[in-house]
Each structure stands twice: as C-alpha cells, then as structure tokens.
Structure 1
Amino acid sequence: MKILIIGGNGTIGKTVVSHFKQKNEILIAGRTNGDVTVDIADSSSIKSMFEKIEKVDAIICIAGEAKWDDFNKLSEDDYYIGLKSKLMGQVNLVRIGQNYLYPNGSITLSTGILADDPVVKTTSAAMVNGAIHSFVKAVALEIENGIRVNVVSSGMVEDAYEKYKDYFPGHNPIPMKKVINGYVRSVNGKGNGEIIRIYD
C-alpha cells in the first residue's frame, strides 16, 4: 500500500512509520520537513499537499495542536488554536483527502484519552478530542467509495512519559507496541467509524 502519514516525524509518528514502512510505501508529511510539507490548520495547504502526492491507499494523521492552560486563563483565541488545527485540520483531511484515496481506502485520525478522561489544563484539548470522536462516527455513515474513517485514541505513551507524567498522575504509560497496533487495526482491518481506545 501507499500510505501518507501526516506527523510522521513526531514521537508517535516515527514509531508508526517504522512499522508500516516494512511492507508499504510511506510518504511522510510534516509542517517543516518530510517528503511533503503541510500545515493542517490551512485547508489550501492540505489541498496543495494532495495535489503533489496524488492518490494513496491510506491516510494516517498523527498531528494537530491545542492549547493547554488553566480554564480561567484560556482566551477565545486560545480555543481557536485547537479548533483550527487538531479539529478542523483533521476534518479537512477527511473532507479533501477522500478525493485522493483509491476506492476502499482508509483514513485514520488521532486524538487521546482526554476525550474520556481529561486532566487539569486540558479543557480545550479535551473538547477538540471529543468533537473528533463524534465526527468520525457520523462521517462513517456518509463517506463514499468504500472509504473507512477511524480514530486512534491513546493514553499517555511511554515515549512521552517523562515529559507529561506530572499532568497524568496515576496513569499507566501505554507501550508503543499497543499504540502501533491501534493504527494497524484501523488501516488493515475492516472497521469503520470506530474509536480505537488504547487506555491501559
């Protein structure tokens, strides 16, 4: 398969790329480097990326940002960071990307445990993750050409434990192998509209 991985240079992305490149042709998209560059917060950038790479069998997105801060410090503009990047960025990847997928292709989005089990300072991020879960369930009912759309939602991964452990007291770090298997299930399985939770 020819697989586009957006965010393939990140903490989770590098591991996912390493797995899939064993048996597939991988294209990495990143904001500043990769086989192609893209800013998912900009729909014209998304369209330009797809025009450069043409058709693929699968799209995986492991990108998107949201502001973390105390609820009383978050401004309206702070919320728009997550709305434009992680939420609408991934929505637009589906909306535009469906036209660059071969029939029966797949799109895999990414969220995280905050949708179901938020911690402090994550009001914006949790809101965006929950919205993506609802979007995936709904769009799966209507997307055409046999295309499947799923989302992988992971807890705090082992490789990010030292950086984020103070935000997630008592949370068990998720082995990267488990996270990889979530993406494998989405890409190689037959599920559609699934929230693939990897929380413990």
Structure 2
Amino acid sequence: MRILIIGGNGTIGRPVANHFAKENEVIIAGRSEGDLKIDISDSTSIKEGLSQIGQLDAIVCIAGEAKWANFDELSEEDYYIGLRSKLMGQVNLVRLGRNHLNPNGSITLSTGILADDPVVKTASASMVNGGIHSFVQAAALEMENGIRLNVVSLGVVQDAYEKYRDYFPGHNSISMEKAVNAYVRSVQGRGNGQIIRFYE
C-alpha cells in the first residue's frame, strides 16, 4: 500500500510510520518536516501537498492542535485554534483527500480520550474531539468507491505520560504497541465510521 501519514514524525506518528513502513510505501508529511510539507490548518497546503504524491491507498492524520487553558481564560480566538487546526483541518483532509485515494482506500483521523473523559483546561480540545467523532460517523455514510473513514481515539500514551500526568490524575497510560495497533485496525481492517478507542 501507499500510505500518507501526516504527523509521522511525532511521538505517536513515528512508531506508527515505522510499523507500516515494514511492508508498505510510507510518505510522511508535516507542517515543518517530512517527505513533504502539509499544514492541515490551511486547505491550500493540503491541496498542494496531495497534488505532489499521486494516488494513495490510505491517509492517516496524527496531527492537529487545540488550546489548553482554564475556561475563564479562553477567548473566542483561542477556540478557533482548535477549530481551524484539529477539527476543520481533518475535515478538509477528508474532503480533499478522498479524491486521491484508490478504490477501497481508507482515511484515519485522530482525536483522544478528552472526547469522552474531559479534564480541566480542555473545554476547547474536548469540544473539537467530540465534533470529529460525530463528523466521522456521519461522513462515513456517504463515502464512495469503497473508501472507509475512521477515527482513532487514544488515552495518554506511556511515552508522553510524564509530560501530561498532572492533567490526568488517576488515568492509566497506554502502551505504544496499543496505540500503533489502533491505527493498524483502522487501515488494515474493514471497519467504517468507527471510533476506535484505546484508553487503558
């Protein structure tokens, strides 16, 4: 398969890319580094990046940002960070990317545990994650040519637990192996419109 992984140099993206690269052609894209540059918050950047690589069998997005802050401190513009990047960035990737997929291809988006189990300072991030879940379930109903659309929703991975542990008191971390397997399930399985949750 030819697989595009946006965010393939990140904490989770790199192990996912390394796994798929064992038996597939993997193209890594990122905002500042990779085989090509794609900034998902800019639909023109998505179009230009996709136009450079031809047809694909799978697109995986492990990218997108949202503002973390106390609810009283979040401005309207703070909310737009997540709306433009993680939410509309991934929506636009589906809109534009499906036209670059071979029949029976797949698109995998990424969210996280905040959609179902929010913590303090995540009003914006939780809103965005929940919106993506609803979008995937609805848009999957209208995919054509056998294209599948899923979203992977992870808990805090062990490799990032020290950085985020104060935000997630009492939460269990998940192994990188489980994180990678979530993406394998989406890309190599047959599910469509699924929220693939690995929280513990």
Q: Deviations over 1:55-91 (max 9, x none)?
A: 1100000000000000000000000000000000000
Secondary structure of the structure 1 residue equivalent to 2:68: coil
Deviation at 1:54, TM superposition (A): 1.3
Secondary structure of the structure 2 residue equivalent to 1:140: helix
**1:82 corresponding residue in structure 2:** 82
Q: Deviations over 1:6-50 (max 9, x none)?
A: 000100001101111000000000001100001100001000000
TM-score by length of 1: 0.99
**1:45 corresponding residue in structure 2:** 45
1: CA distance between counterparts of 2:50 and 2:39?
A: 12
| Letter of the 1:160 counterpart | A
Secondary structure of the structure 2 residue equivalent to 1:104: strand
2: CA distance between counterparts of 1:94 and 1:38?
A: 14
**2:119 corresponding residue in structure 1:** 119
Which residues of structure 1 form unaligned runs of 5+?
none
Secondary structure of the structure 1 residue equivalent to 2:27: strand
**1:19 corresponding residue in structure 2:** 19
Secondary structure of the structure 1 residue equivalent to 2:12: helix
**2:144 corresponding residue in structure 1:** 144
Secondary structure of the structure 2 residue equivalent to 1:141: helix
Identical pairs, percent: 71
2: CA distance between counterparts of 1:17 and 1:140?
A: 24
2: CA distance between counterparts of 1:54 and 1:24?
A: 16
TM-score by length of 2: 0.99
Matches within 5 A, 1:100-115: 100-115=100-115
Aligned CA RMSD, in angstroms, stands at 0.4
1: CA distance between counterparts of 2:117 and 2:48?
A: 36
Deviation at 1:138, TM superposition (A): 0.2
Q: Which ranges of 4 or more aligned residues in structure 1 deviate by more than 4 Å?
A: none
Secondary structure of the structure 1 residue equivalent to 2:183: helix
The alignment covers a number of residue pairs equal to 200
| Letter of the 2:38 counterpart | V
2: CA distance between counterparts of 1:96 and 1:107?
A: 11
